[in-house]
Structure formats: structure tokens, C-alpha cells
Amino acid sequence: MPRSTVARIDLEALRRNFQTARSRAGGAQVMAVVKADGYGHGIGPVALALDSLAPKYAVACLEEARAIRETGLVQPVVLLQGVHAEADIEECAQQGFEPVFHSFQQLAWLERLEARPVFWLKVNSGMNRLGFHPDELAGVMSRLQAISADQGLLGFVTHFACADDPESAMTAHQTSVFEQATAAFPGLMKSVANSAAHFHPEQPMFDWSRPGIMLYGGSPMVGKTGRELGLEPVMSLEAPLISTRVVPAGESVGYGASWVADCDTRMGMVAIGYGDGYPRHAGTNTPAAINGQRIRLIGRVSMDMLAVDLTNAPDAKEGDNVELWGRTVGVDEVAACAGTISYELMTGITGRVPRQYR
């Protein structure tokens, strides 16, 4: 028998979260962002589950776009990082992948090729990761026109640096930089919104929104949980209790002897650790749950196991399943305890943990 450590994936919850994104996208169409193996949920099953809802998918790289095609899905797939080699552009044309070109190198590749895909241009509106500066856009457009590649141009994309913070003025600033930069090229589409932007009441959504984390129930907003934003958890990370004992007052548990019992404490060992992607930075008092009852971690997370305090769950016994995050304990709560965001936790679950779909 394999150990029962598992990530249960609720595909109905995923679909409901997609509908929430759609209801918050104004008139924009919604492309489902399924990069990084569907944020750790499994790109194939996630993409298939959204088949009847998502008119487009978005991923980071070509390998991920291929994984979508391998499921048999035929929707366009946006490549958010463009391509990494000239030869990839032809594959995009054949496969219905829509690269987002962000560099003069990619533009030069495009100029050399006959078979061109439809594509997007990335505008750097202030994040300063990728994209053409607004001042460069006119030059890029005339180079495209010179080779008639402007016919394949779908529109413009930009990405927000601070949309997770509703107090930040940066999002409105980037939006206006983007609008001014693209105003000279009417009739083309625009896409700006990540998940967070769906929770800014004043944010223009333009033609296509690009939600990722919210589809999986994680919060895109600082200081708010997914549940508080009306999102449903999709992943329930579970592992069995494999041992229980009473640690006498004054004794410690685990590596570094970092947690010491101040009274006799019934505790249990759970068969999951950082080798499964559970964050090692989650310290004592990080929440977990057993049989719907909230409990807490104690001591350091090991590679293959972690310790929990069973004081709140006197009936818990070996073989019972512990929820590390899911419906009782939100992934955002665990992320906060580990000094990170739900994105990193969900994408970090390793291949040792089987995904089970519902």
C-alpha cells in the first residue's frame, strides 16, 4: 500500500472559481492561466476541466503549451514569455500557440520567418521585467508593418507589479502608461488583469483578463485569504498520522530540539515534509487540521514528516488523515506562517505527492 499522502483536487471548485473570475472580469474574456503545472494541480486535468469554460489558456513556456495539446484541447494557448528560440515560432504557427513577444531578439526571429503565428506584444508599463518600452512601440510597429506581420498581431499585454496591494497607486499608473502607449494603435486587443486586478473595482479589464491563482482558490491580495474573497480551495493536501506519543514536560521534538513541551503533550507524526514540498519555514503554531478540528505544528518540519500537537484532537489516532491545507485550513494561512504566498506553496508540491481528482 502506498502512503496516503495526497493532494486532492476538486475540479468543480476550480470551475466555480473560473466563473467567479468571469463575473469579475466585466466585459473581458477570460484566459485560464495554467502555467507551472496548473499551479501544482496538474496542467492536463486542470485544462481539461476548464474546457467548456475557457476560450484560451495561458502558460509560461512551450513545454506547457504542448502539454495542453497532448490532452487533445484545441483552444489557443498564449505563451506569456514568448519563445526562447527561433525554431519555436514555427511550432507556434502550427499549433495555435500565441507567443507574447517582448524583445528585439524575438522580433528579429519573426522577421526571418515565413510561417508566422498570431501573437501579442508585451508593453513594459513600469514593472521593468519584460516588454517594449512605450517609446519603442512605434518603431516595433513599423518593423512589423514592413514585413506585413502586423496582420498577425492580436494586441498588447502588460503586467502589474503591485496589484496585490489595493492601496498602491502603481496599478492605476501602469494602466495609464499602457493606455497612452497603445492609443496610437486602435483596433487591437488589450490584456492587463492578473487575478488581483479582478478585485479592484475601478480597474479597466479591456479585452482579455488573465487570472491564475484565483482559479485555484489562493488569494492574490495581501492580508486577505482566498475564502474572504469568495474563492474556494481547490487543493486539499493530506497526509496520515503515522505515530502518536505523549512527550513529557521538558522534552523536545525533532531536529534542533527547537520545540520543548511545557507540559505533558500528546503529539503525532504526519507523513509529509519538505521533500513533498511542504514548506520547511512553517514553524511551531502553523495550523493544520484533523477530522475537521484545527491543530498546530510543533518543532521543525523534516524531509519526510512533521509533528503536530494533538491537544485539541484527543480522539485522533494513527491512520487518521491530517489536512495540511484545504477546506479547514486555508493555504493562505499556511503561506503567511511560512513567510511566503500560496503560489509558492501550491507550485512547490513535489512529484512524490500523487494528485487525486474529484
Q: Which residues are annotated as a binding site?
A: 129, 303
Please list, residue by residue across 248-260, b when 16 or more beta carbons sit within 10 angstroms of its beta carbon and e when fewer do.
Answer: eeeeebbeeeebe
195 interacts with ligand PLP by CB under 6 A: yes
Q: Catalytic: 317?
A: no
Kindly state the smallest distance separating residue 41's Cβ from ligand PLP, in Å: 12
User: Among the candidate windows 167-175, 209-217, 287-295, 328-336, which touches ligand PLP by CB under 6 A?
Assistant: 209-217
Q: Between 195 and 265, whose beta carbon lies closer to ligand PLP?
A: 195
Q: Dig out the grid coordinates for 20 from the structure.
A: 467567479
Comparison of 102 and 300: residue with beta carbon closer to ligand PLP: 102
Q: Which one, of 50, 45, 49, 16, lies nearest residue 31 by Cα? A: 50
Binding mask 144-183 for ligand PLP (x = CB under 6 A): ---------------x------------------------
The size of the interface with ligand PLP (CB under 6 A), counted in residues, is 12
3-state helix, strand, coil in the chain (%, to 5): 30, 25, 45
At 278 the three-state DSSP class reads coil
Amino acid type, 250: G
> Beta strands 293-298 and 189-191: pairing type?
unpaired
Q: Binding-site residues for substrate, please?
A: 129, 303
- What residues between 14 and 43 interact with ligand PLP by CB under 6 A? 33, 35
Which 3 state secondary structure label does DSSP give 320? coil
Closer CB to ligand PLP, residue 123 or residue 196? 196
Interhelix angle 87-95/62-70, rounded to 10 degrees, is 30
Find the part of the chain contacting ligand PLP (CB under 6 A) among 108-116, 204-212, 266-274, 334-342. Answer: 204-212
Position among 68, 83, 213, 301 found at the interface with ligand PLP (CB under 6 A) = 213
Q: State the Cα–Cα distance between residues 303 and 279, nearest whole angstrom.
A: 10
Q: What does the block give as the cell for 153?
A: 498581431
Q: Is 212 in the site for ligand PLP (CB under 6 A)?
A: yes
Q: Which amino acid is located at 235 in the chain? A: M
Active site residue 35: yes
- The interaxial angle of helices 104-112 and 137-146, nearest 10 deg, is 10
Closest to ligand PLP by CB, 30 vs 307, is: 30
Choice among 35, 56, 122, 190 that is catalytic: 35
Q: How far is CA 277 from CA 5, 10, 217, 351, in A?
A: 12, 20, 18, 9
Cβ nearer to ligand PLP, comparing 127 with 260: 127
CB of 149 vs ligand PLP, minimal distance in Å: 22
CB-nearer residue toward ligand PLP: 33 or 231: 33
Among 42, 155, 220, 283, binds ligand PLP (CB under 6 A): 220
Question: Distance (Å, rounded) from C-alpha 325 to C-alpha 238?
Answer: 8
Q: For residue 203, state whether it binds ligand PLP (rule: CB under 6 A).
A: no
Which of 180, 237, 222, 171 is CA-nearest to residue 200?
171
Instruction: Determine which residue in the list 54, 79, 80, 349 makes contact with ligand PLP, applying CB under 6 A.
Output: 80
What residue ranges bind ligand PLP (CB under 6 A)? Answer: 33, 35, 80, 159, 194-196, 210-213, 220
Residues with catalytic function: 35, 255
